[in-house]
Structure formats: C-alpha cells, structure tokens
C-alpha cells in the first residue's frame, strides 16, 4: 500500500520471554520450543534478553547460551536480535562481542539507565557499542524505564553511523518519531503493542511485541492486512487486541510476568519469573486467559 524502508530484522518481531525451569534455571529446551513456535506462527525475528526476557536477572553466560540455543532452533528462518543494554558502556561493549560470537544477527541496546547521562554522553555510549562489533544495532528508546530519552536530534546524529540501523520506540512521541523517520533511513519498530498499526501507517518498519509471545499470528495479520490494501481490516484486527494488550501491558504487572503467566496457563514453555518479580495471581491469570480466548475466537480464520 505504501513504500517503506526495508526492515533490517523483518517486520514482525517478538520480544521473547526467557523460559526457566521450576527451579529457576535457564530452560534452553523450552526456549528452543517456544522460539520454533513463534517463528512457525509468523515472527520474522526474535529479540532475546530484553526487558520481557528478564535481562536484569540473567547472567552474561545465560544470555550467550540463550542466543546459541535459539539460533540453533530457528536457523535462517528468523533474525536473532540480542538485548545487550546495561548501564555500563564497557560491559555493554563486551556483551556486544559475546552476542556476535554466539550467533546473533543484531543487537538491541537500551539507553544507559539510572545514571541519567546527558545527550552527548548518550550519543557517545551508542557509538562505542556500534563500534564494538560488526553487528547492526537497534537503539531502544524507553525513557519511562531508563529515565533518559534519546532525543530526536540525537537520533538524527546517530543515524549516520553505518551500523545503527533501527529503533525500538517506546517514547510515546509520534511527532518526534516522524521527524526522525522523515530525515533518516532508520527503521522504526514500535515496542508498544497498542501502536502496532499506528507506527506502521506512518512509515514504521513493524513491531517488537511482548503480547506476540502468545498471539504471534494475530499481530502479524495486522501488518498483512495493511500491506494488502485493506486498512479497515487492519484497524479491526488491531482493535481486537485491546483487551489482551491492556491486561498484559497496562494492568500494573510487568509484561514478563503476564506473558509467562499466560504461556504457562496454555501449557507453553515459560516457568517462573526471577526475583524481584513475582508471579501473577490466580485472578490475573484467569483474566488473561479469558481475554486470550476471546481474541482467538474473534480472529478465527486469520
């Protein structure tokens, strides 16, 4: 329907949870089974060790092992993007090299958090990471969690780096996003499930979705309908996701908690969350299941 940038990691990406065993250990077999399901049901790429993947509580060795296992499971059927962002530039650069060695196809790097660096330091941080490996890099702009925005003017400067190719956008600033889209070749992926169609309609590359852990086929169908020249159907499909997205992403529980709760209730690989996160209660799980079942019923045939 409209021309757009070629997305470097595909259009439909899932911010995959990190499955653990009942004892809280990394479940590589479960990760491989979940990754295979996600790719088989429409995901072009998998983002590992992001916020949804509980990266703050997984070790460097676990992150590398996860990339290797998932890459083995999906082969060349999907892009593997490794979340490597930390608050420490040197540590993040080390993780970039380890992800490259483990077989990642790209990197997701969040703004350094807690220390709240000024924009020149933010820019220097991302340039250092982009220079640390040969992998393409997506900037992760989520000021609500990090405390620091990647300002549009900083994005414009960083877009000139040959390995900075994409943005995961959770800034809730469509005006700023459009300024960068209009002036650069950066591929914008929304990280906010309620913005999947909105971002795509203004020239975004697609999405990196948490809710897609449980509904990968449905979220891809939104983009497919738009590309097929049926924006009304794309709107309908997006609107069907609202109840589940609200419960998973805006109920006061982190997306990693709700995604694992629903995956577990469906008998899919998930396992417990690691402290300080706590599992969803029974009422929350029941609500998630009801919303999921209604979405499945409403989108039958998609």
168 catalytically annotated: yes
CA distance 84 to 82: 6
129 is in an annotated binding site: no
**Of the listed 63, 168, 207, 260, which one is catalytic?**
168
DSSP summary character for residue 8: B
Closest CA to 200 of 17, 23, 11, 52: 11
Pairing assessment for the beta strands 45-48 and 79-83 based on DSSP bridges:
parallel
Contact of 18 with 54, CB cutoff 8 Å: yes
Q: Report yes or no: 176 and 165 within 8 Å, Cβ to Cβ.
A: no
Establish how many alpha carbons lie within 13 A of residue 46's alpha carbon, considering only the half-sphere containing its beta carbon: 35
Give kind and range of the element (H or E) at residue 247: helix 242-249
Annotated binding residue 84: no
Q: In the annotation, is 200 catalytic?
A: no
Bridge partners, 48 (sequence order): 82
Out of 63, 114, 140, 189, the active site residue is 140
Binding residues: 52, 208
Would you please indicate which residues are annotated as catalytic (active-site) residues?
140, 168
Binding residues for pyruvate: 52, 208
């Amino acid at each position: 329907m409209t021309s757009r940038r070629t997305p470097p990691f595909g259009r439909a990406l899932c911010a995959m949870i990190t499955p653990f065993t009942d004892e809280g250990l990394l479940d590589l077999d479960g990760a491989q089974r979940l990754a295979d399901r996600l790719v088989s049901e429409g995901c072009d790429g998998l983002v590992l060790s992001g916020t949804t993947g509980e990266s703050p509580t997984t070790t460097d060795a676990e992150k590398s092992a996860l990339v290797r296992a998932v890459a083995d499971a999906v082969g060349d059927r999907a892009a593997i993007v490794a979340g490597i962002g930390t608050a420490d530039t040197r540590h993040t650069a080390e993780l970039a090299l380890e992800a490259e060695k483990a077989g990642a196809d790209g990197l997701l790097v969040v703004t350094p958090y807690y220390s709240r660096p000024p924009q020149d330091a933010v820019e220097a941080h991302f340039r250092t990471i982009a220079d640390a490996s040969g992998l393409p890099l997506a900037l992760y702009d989520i000021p609500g969690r990090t405390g620091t925005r990647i300002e549009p003017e900083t994005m414009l400067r960083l877009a000139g780096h040959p390995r900075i190719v994409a943005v995961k956008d959770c800034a809730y600033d469509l005006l700023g996003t459009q300024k960068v889209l209009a002036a650069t070749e950066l591929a914008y992926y929304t990280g906010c499930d309620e913005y999947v169609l909105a971002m795509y309609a203004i020239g975004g590359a697609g999405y990196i979705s948490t809710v897609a852990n449980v509904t990968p086929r449905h979220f891809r169908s939104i983009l497919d309908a738009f590309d097929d020249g049926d924006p009304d159907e794309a709107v309908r499909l997006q609107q069907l996701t609202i109840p589940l997205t609200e419960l998973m992403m805006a109920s006061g529980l982190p997306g990693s908690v709700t995604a694992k709760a629903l995956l577990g209730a469906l008998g899919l690989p998930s396992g417990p969350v690691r402290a300080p996160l706590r599992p969803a209660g029974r009422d929350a799980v029941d609500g998630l299941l009801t919303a999921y079942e209604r979405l499945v019923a409403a989108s039958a045939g998609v």
